Amino acid sequence: MDKIKVMSVFGTRPEAIKMCPLVKKMREYEQIESVVCLTGQHREMLQQVIDIFQVKEDYNLHIMKPSQTLTSITTDVLTLMGPVLEKEKPDIVLVHGDTTTSFAVALAAYYQQIPVGHVEAGLRTYDKYAPFPEEMNRTLTSRIADLHFAPTEANKECLARENIEKNVFVTGNTVIDALQTTILRDYKYKSPELIRILNDMRERILLVTAHRRENWGQPLRNICEALCEIAERYEDVAVIYPVHLNPKVRDTVFEILGNRERIHLIDPIDVEDMHNLMAKSYLVVTDSGGIQEEAPSCGVPVVVLRNETERQEAIEAGTVRLAGTDKKKIFREISALLENQEQYDRMAEAINPYGDGHASERIIRAILQYFGVR
């Protein structure tokens, strides 16, 4: 066989953070011709990542619309992916995780009978509405995929429970590959807003992100109100919250948390700023999936603004706690970690169940093996 043509397709910030290390690694393999297609489900937040990792796309479908719907993302990706796949005829398409981009691209490839490799396979909560629509996106992607790259043994077991046992490879998570290049000892921040905030900061940093669909509306209001009370109660704590660009999120967050003492609302920061800020934070409070993997690796405890998580490894290791979206419960969980040093220290032990930073190489070797190429 000539070179294997691998088309990596992604469209949102977290997919890009976890796919770019793999795309870069593929450049080192002469047996592989790597093609990159962005769906453009995100725009600025995607560009920030691509620029940092210096990945150049071959295609960008530019599908993002303000306040886009799940239907528009799915149908636009399906419609626009077809001609790209027909032109490029890749030997395999790689998708990542659980976004609507991932599922729709997998489906588009399946319609042309092109094998699909699923990076970050086998994460499950078994609740189809939490996270929504991610749980269904990844479950359906697993049904379509031919190769499954599971970050952990537990993820492999989840796939086995669904009778998916062929071509499942435990690889670690490529987020650890990414972290190894982004976190630096004498890191210099780039965001002028962040530099200004960090200048002379004496308080303990509470790094917050919240944007999930199932938290829009009242749950997000509860989260914001709990954060207000934390900032009022603890004068030695400052909240830094890079707010997602979605207007549905921004409207609520700025209404409740805008112009408050020791609460800093900033625009999304690039991944290098984010990872280094995370490493220097006292506590992370988030509904993000990826941050639940990153913070434990940095030895920073995480309060998760969800009722369930697909990242059970971090729960078992004790660095992540579920607070859900009840205002009182969120306040209690954060407050306990601000006040109780013993509890904090127990959670702050750095653990990394997600691999050794060589996930990309394992994924590439599995692809070569699948195609019978040395």
Which lies closer to ligand UD1 via its Cβ, residue 40 or residue 301? 40
Tell me: does residue 151 bind ligand UDP (CB under 6 A).
no
- Minimum CB distance to ligand UD1, residue 64 (Å): 6
Nearest Cα to 242, choosing from 280, 303, 197?
197
Stretch that binds ligand UD1, among 30-38, 44-52, 144-152, 346-354 (CB under 6 A): 44-52
Catalytic-labelled residue, pool 244, 306, 311, 321: 244
294 binds ligand UDP (CB under 6 A): yes
67 binds, among ligand UD1, ligand UDP, none (CB under 5 to 8 A by kind): ligand UD1
Query: Which one is catalytic: 211, 212, 275, 306?
Result: 211
Residue 291 interacts with which of ligand UDP, ligand UD1, none, CB < 5 to 8 Å by class: ligand UDP
Q: Which is nearer to ligand UD1, 237 or 305 (CB)?
A: 305
Residues 152-191 that bind ligand UDP (CB under 6 A): none
Minimum CB–partner distance for residue 369 and ligand UD1 (Å): 30
If one asks whether residue 274 binds ligand UDP (CB under 6 A), the answer comes out as: yes
Contact residues toward ligand UD1 (CB under 6 A) are 12-14, 41-46, 64-68, 70, 98-101, 133-134, 211, 213, 245-247
